[in-house]
Amino acid sequence: MAAPRGPTLSTARLILRRWTEDDLAPFAILNADPEVMHFFPQPLTMAESDALVQRIEAQFDDRGFGLWAVERAADGAFLGFTGLAVQRFDGPPGHVIEVGWRLASSAWGQGYATEAGREALRFGFEVANLPEIVSFTSPLNEPSVRVMERLGMHHDPADDFDYPRLPPGHPLRHHVLYRLTAEEFAHQRAR
């Protein structure tokens, strides 16, 4: 995989960039970690992890945005991903743009998901001109719910849904959905 061009984003501590071949091995380790994948149906194999990167990169090529590889600016360490993903469901919530993140457990508790998520939202609203961005997870995933709240996203229980790719009765099937509009984001930035 050649190093694809832009868009590259940065924050005080992080660089959000397109994926490279060097990211595949650490990403596969991250996706095989049961602790990281606790709120997902199962860890990913190396082949599944590599295929995910290919899908992410295709979305960048198609849409101009996607799930950026996140590296720590101070030392170049690969931390995981944060960014924007197109999600399509036959039922609720329908066709949405999701802000999401998956970071190595060594990067947890340092504010990286919120910092990178805020920059992904800025890009989504101010560059890609998206009207609304959502985020969703199992309510059991309290750390991610807290990130959504720190990002200023709001929850309406009427928007909650059962994730259709998980079977009925699966403990992670029920999902909470948080929303943020471009207008709300602009208001937050003006404060």
pLDDT tens figures, 81-96: 999 999 998 888 989 9
Amino acid at 91: G
Query: Alpha helices, DSSP H only, in 44-111?
Result: 46-63
Q: Are strands 132-137 and 154-155 parallel, antiparallel or unpaired?
A: unpaired
* CATH class of the region 9-190: alpha beta
In this prediction, residue 102 carries a pLDDT of 98
In this prediction, residue 92 carries a pLDDT of 85
What's the rounded mean pLDDT across residues 159-181? 96
Query: Alpha helices, DSSP H only, in the chain?
Result: 24-32, 46-63, 112-122, 142-150, 182-190
In this prediction, residue 1 carries a pLDDT of 52
Of the pLDDT bands very low, low, confident and very high (cuts 50, 70, 90), residue 4 is low
Of the pLDDT bands very low, low, confident and very high (cuts 50, 70, 90), residue 191 is confident
> Domain spans of the chain?
9-190
Give the whole-angstrom CA distance, residue 2 versus residue 67: 17
61 and 55 Cβ atoms separated by less than 8 Å: no
What's the rounded mean pLDDT across residues 19-23? 97
In this prediction, residue 190 carries a pLDDT of 87
What's the rounded mean pLDDT across residues 4-25? 92
Q: What angle do CA 100, 87, 5 make, to 5 degrees?
A: 65
In this prediction, residue 170 carries a pLDDT of 95
What's the rounded mean pLDDT across residues 1-26? 88
In this prediction, residue 5 carries a pLDDT of 66
What's the rounded mean pLDDT across residues 146-168? 96
What's the rounded mean pLDDT across residues 114-128? 98
Residues 6+ apart with CB under 8 A from 50: 24, 28
Q: What is the mean pLDDT of the chain?
A: 95
pLDDT tens figures, 36-79: 999 999 999 999 999 999 999 999 999 999 999 999 999 999 99
